[in-house]
Amino acid sequence: MKNTQYLAREPDDSGFIHYPESEHQVWNTLITRQLDVIQNRACQEYLDGIEQLGLPLERIPQLGEINRVLEATTGWRVARVPALIPFQTFFELLASKQFPVATFIRTPEELDYLQEPDIFHEIFGHCPMLTNPWFAEFTHTYGKLGLQATKEQRVYLARLYWLTIEFGLLDTPAGRRIYGGGILSSPKETLYALSNDPEHQPFDPLEAMRTPYRIDILQPVYFVLPELKRLFELAQEDIMALVQHAMQLGLHAPKFPPKAA
């Protein structure tokens, strides 16, 4: 695992996390900007989740506030974690309906992009969708499968996660919309993902597992669900059989240049 410059903030004895005013200001900048950008771009299920969460604009929310809404809607919770966690911990949390949230926020210098998932990415990007039963069920199933998977199988599962939960698109009667948290927490990628620049492919879990990705660039290809319920249906399928099939077929050639040394 790579190192990080960020340190998650610890709660006090009553479970309250104190953030300096400068960090609340970063949250305010991020959320007010992004709420504007996602209009007519985020899927309705995400917007419904944003409304239910009632995220404050002027301060970083406390995890307990998020938990009250998630528990009431889908039985999920968020769990406080350090900046980076091992795959094993990640799968253990998802398998127990807990979504990891690192309790730090990016610096003003990294406002537009950082590789580590911070509290804005996790809460604004992912938690609204976790109020949706279909999305929540898929995420729970994914965690349980990851716990049982081998190291090599986990790499294929990771690609499925990346191209759905992080960077998934969705066709709706109102047009193409975003549900992936990695897109919805990034102003640049929110605009780019729905443009004509990247490739859009109909969602196929086998193809997604065979598609290489890089975490430090705008995605060259996105997979588009016909409807959000497709994720719930996928959770009922034999995903590990698909993983085995993907491993036999091997990876597609990457649609991006190799990383500079």
Annotated binding site for Fe cation: 121, 126, 166
CA distance linking residue 226 with residue 221, whole number of Å: 16
Whether residue 162 contacts residue 257, with contact meaning beta carbons closer than 8 Å, is answered with: no
Residue type, 217: I
Could you tell me the two tokens for 87?
A: 């795959």
Give the residues across from 170 on adjacent strands.
Answer: 177, 225
Residue 145 is classified by DSSP as H
Binding residues: 121, 126, 166
- The CA distances from residue 171 to 44, 189, 209, 241, 247, in Å, are 11, 17, 20, 27, 28
Q: Which long-range contacts (CB under 8 A, 24 or more apart) does 106-111 make?
A: 106/6, 106/26, 106/30, 107/26, 108/26, 108/29, 111/26, 111/29, 111/30
Q: Are 246 and 156 in contact (CB under 8 A)?
A: yes
